Amino acid sequence: MQFEVFTLFPEIFPPYLNESILKRAQSANLLQVNLYNIRDWATDKHNTVDAEPYGGGGGMVMKPGPIFSAVEEVIGNPSNCPIILLTPQGRQLTQEVVKELSQNQKIALICGRYEGVDERVRQHLVTDEISIGDFVLTGGELPALAIIDAVTRLMPGVLGDPTAAEDDSHAMGLLEYPHFTRPPEFREWSIPEILRSGNHGKIARWRREQALKRTFERRPEMLEKLNLSKEDKKFLDSLS
Ligand code: 4FV
Cα distances from 61 to residues 9, 55, 142, 202, in angstroms, run: 16, 12, 19, 57
Is 168 designated active site? Answer: yes
Is there an atom of ligand 1 within 6 Å of 50 CB?
no
- Cβ-proximal residues to 165 (8 Å cutoff; 6+ apart), any chain: 153, 154, 159, 171
The residue from 66, 118, 143, 153 that is catalytic is 153
Mean pLDDT, residues 4-18 = 98
User: What residue type is assigned to position 31 of the chain?
Assistant: L
Residue identifier of the C-alpha nearest atom 10 of ligand 1: 131
What's the pLDDT at 78?
A: 81
- Does pLDDT of 173 surpass 80? yes
Is there an atom of ligand 1 within 6 Å of 131 CB?
yes
Confidence of residue 193 (pLDDT cuts 50, 70, 90): very high
Q: What whole-number distance in Å separates Cα of residue 203 and Cα of residue 109?
A: 41
| CA 71 to chain CA mean position, Å | 21
Mean pLDDT, residues 60-86 = 95
Question: Minimum mean pLDDT among 35-39, 169-173, 174-178, 181-185: which range?
Answer: 169-173
Asked if omega into 162 is within 30° of 0 (cis), the reply is no
Confidence of residue 169 (pLDDT cuts 50, 70, 90): low
Does the pTM surpass 0.85? The reply is: yes
Q: Hey, which residues does 176 pair with through a beta bridge?
A: none
Of all atoms in ligand 1, which is nearest to the CA of residue 117? 15
Residue identifier of the C-alpha nearest atom 6 of ligand 1: 139
